[in-house]
Amino acid sequence: MNTINKEKAKLLILLSLGVAAILFLNLYKFSLANQVGFSISHEHIFINPKSEYATDLILTPDEITYATWLIFRADRANDIIENRNLFANTNLYGYLIGFSYLAADGNYKYLFLFGLAGYLLLFVSSYTLLKAIGFEHKTVLIGTGLFMLSPNVLMLGSGFLRDLFVIAFVNYCIIALIQRRYLLLIFSILMLLFTRNFYLVILLPIFLYFLSRSRKGSLDIGLIFLIPMVVLIFITLYLALLSRASGVSIFDLKFLLRFIELQTGVNMVLIRIPYLFSGFYNLMLETISHFYYFVIMMMALTIVVVTLRMKKFYVFLIAFNILLSFLYASYLGFFMSRTKLIVLWFSIIFILYHVNSYNMKRANKINLANH
């Protein structure tokens, strides 16, 4: 009982630190908005240009798009109603933010409550997933802290983009697969469909991995051979379709650079050192998020190199990275720190597998020595 209370206390401390950081960033943004005269309406965005980077700090371009969604993206609703371009127009999160902006009488500051709500949902889902995987208590706390106190997550918590909700829904999909909770799985899939639908396609390798872990007995033998074959066939077909539609191949430099960035964290932000000193937003949020991603990826690669073997999960993660890299090279452009957040989370889980395995072996050695 005492151990459970200590774990809850540590979780509460982690959550309090994250929420406090988000509130601080929000208050800083609101203060700066008052200083530079920032305002937004359906007709224009106004700023008295006292700071070159003030507009990026207060609201990102994507956040401005969401706030004015019902005005400038109204045609998307007509496309859905008339069943045109349905797969490309299922981002209903934009309508939620746009409606909330109108309901708040154009006061964008209320929209930051969505960022806080997304942070809380992601915190609960991430902790629950690590417990469902079967990590020991200490490992769960380490993983929750590494992810939820990362600059990548805190930056999104201090805003109102959809990314935190998206990854929370991914978490609940995996939890449902592990625990065979089919109603939760259906609900989570629907939420992904209405927020970031292409994840349902490219996350298949990860979903198959956790599905195989949830099965016991003789079925595992068949899955050991079946799942890699399904993933390989799926990747081949998916890349072939994208290549035919976009003209980008797996040998294209755009794909290779994006895959290297996902796998290692190396990108132009790390190379262009002067970029670090270009303003508060770039220094404290986006740039540091790229550096944090780089550190986590180097930790994961170090584990692979030092142990001279790759755990099955890392192989499935590489398959996911191939699909995501090809999709961005073909259609979506370059990576921002938030679009790599899902890979950061999976890489932390991979590191936790190693930490958990090491701790268990160490505990067994101590027990044997005592006996």
Same-domain status, 219 and 361: yes
- The confidence score (pLDDT) of residue 165 equals 96
Same-domain status, 246 and 274: yes
- The confidence score (pLDDT) of residue 229 equals 52
In angstroms, rounded to a whole number, what is the distance separating the alpha carbons of residues 305 and 284? 31
**Two structure tokens written together for 250:** 């797996």
Positive or negative torsion for Cα 354, 355, 358, 364: negative
- The confidence score (pLDDT) of residue 287 equals 81
Same-domain status, 15 and 149: yes
- Domain C-terminal end among 197, 217, 239: 197
- The confidence score (pLDDT) of residue 240 equals 57
- The confidence score (pLDDT) of residue 243 equals 56
- The confidence score (pLDDT) of residue 156 equals 93
- The confidence score (pLDDT) of residue 196 equals 87
Walk along the chain (371 residues) in steps of 10 and give the mean pLDDT of each run: 74 94 91 77 53 62 82 59 53 87 87 96 96 90 94 93 95 93 92 87 82 56 49 56 54 75 81 54 72 91 77 80 79 81 93 77 58 56
Same-domain status, 114 and 233: no
Asked if residues 153 and 122 have their Cβ atoms less than 8 Å apart, the reply is: yes
Same-domain status, 186 and 224: no
Asked if residues 136 and 114 have their Cβ atoms less than 8 Å apart, the reply is: no
- The confidence score (pLDDT) of residue 76 equals 58
Positive or negative torsion for Cα 184, 186, 190, 195: positive
The total of structural domains in the chain comes to: 2
Asked if residues 94 and 135 have their Cβ atoms less than 8 Å apart, the reply is: no
- The confidence score (pLDDT) of residue 167 equals 96
Same-domain status, 107 and 252: no
- The confidence score (pLDDT) of residue 113 equals 95
Give me the domain span that covers residue 135: 1-197
- The confidence score (pLDDT) of residue 59 equals 81
- The total of other beta-carbon atoms located within 10 Å of residue 187's CB is 15
**Two structure tokens written together for 168:** 């929370």
- The confidence score (pLDDT) of residue 284 equals 65
Find residue 40's DSSP bridge partners: 45
- Domain C-terminal end among 197, 227, 252: 197
pTM above 0.95, yes or no: no
Same-domain status, 111 and 22: yes
Same-domain status, 143 and 66: yes
